[in-house]
Amino acid sequence: MAIEYTVNKASAGMQACDFLQREISVAPAAYLAQLFKKGKVMRAELPLQRDALLNAGDVLSLPDSARLSELIGLSQQQPAPPVILYENNMLLIADKPAGLAVHSSVGHETTNLTALLQQQIDKTDKKYRISPVQRLDLETSGACLFGKGRKALGELGKLLMERELKKTYLALVTGEYRGPAELVSDVHAKGKVKEAGCMVKTIATTGTASLLQIELISGRQHQIRQQLSQQGCPLFGDRRYHGPCPPELPRVFLHSHKLFFHSPFGGDPINVSSPLPEELSAYLQLIGLKLPK
């Protein structure tokens, strides 16, 4: 029997070779290239070219060989490769899972988003180093921006400092948010007290829980979690800032939903969305809320 992979919405638009390299992360790039060259990667019963673009719902079929099965087994023992939501010559935007650190730190020296992305890059013929432009908390999921090389990192860093990078989050909080639409308050960040600002909009509420859309103005550590807790609306799953932690929700309900900016390198504006993870969508459904389309 053939080995099959189904392309989901998040992977639509990827090249076939990049998709398989992500799914079978330990497979040598040359080995996968040979599978394509010999016509052993099929889509709709036709051989697939390695640079073919994939659509959501495509089913890729590969031969069921001992070697391929071994590589798949070894890959499944590795951390899941990150999904790349957008990429061009100067930058990429990855979909960070909750529980994965953005960069190397104590306890996350090799298993972090930057390292996993770099491992993917190093298996291709693309030779460049990436660095994160923004930081997301360990338990926060969603879109995270990276620069390719020093020049790109510098230009994107300026974008962040000048507040030209629009960052929109989704958060589930207790009660009904009755604070100002533009929330400005002091927060504790890296041992200092600093002013922080964000725009807050209620998307849906049950009265005891509210789904908020939050656009950051500043970018302080734990800013959203602190500011909403100060308003009497701590995030669900947030033990540190006294939010409720129901057993059905395994993490803090905070998701980096959208990034929008005009690229300093020219071209059309970049507008990227990260879908709400399954565990967060499931909890919304459980309490009778849903994200509007």
pLDDT digits (tens, 9 = 90+) for 72-107: 887 776 666 789 999 998 999 999 998 888 987 666
**Could you give all domains of the chain from N- to C-terminal order, each with its CATH number?**
3-76 (3.10.290.10), 83-160 (3.30.2350.10), 165-286 (3.30.2350.10)
Q: What is the mean pLDDT of residues 282-290?
A: 93
Least confident of 69-83, 167-181, 190-204: 69-83
pLDDT averaged over the chain?
A: 90
pLDDT the model gives residue 106: 62
In the chain, the amino acid numbered 228 is: L
- Using DSSP's 3-state secondary structure scheme, residue 237 falls into coil
Once rounded to an integer, what is the mean pLDDT over residues 251-260?
96
Reported as a pLDDT band with limits 50, 70 and 90, residue 186 is: confident
Is residue 137 scored above 70 in pLDDT? yes
Instruction: Compute the average pLDDT of residues 234-240.
Output: 94
- pTM of the predicted protein model: 0.73
Interhelix angle 29-37/16-23, nearest 10 degrees? 130
The pLDDT tens digits of the residues spanning 17-73 come to 988 988 887 788 888 999 999 999 999 999 999 999 999 999 999 999 888 988 888
Question: Which pLDDT does position 25 carry in this prediction?
Answer: 75
Closest CA to 39 of 27, 28, 50, 30: 50
Nearest 10 degrees: Cα torsion 214, 215, 219, 222: 0
238: exposed, middle or buried (Cβ count in 10 Å: 0-12, 13-18, 19+):
buried
Q: Which amino acid is at 187?
A: V
pLDDT of residue 78: 61
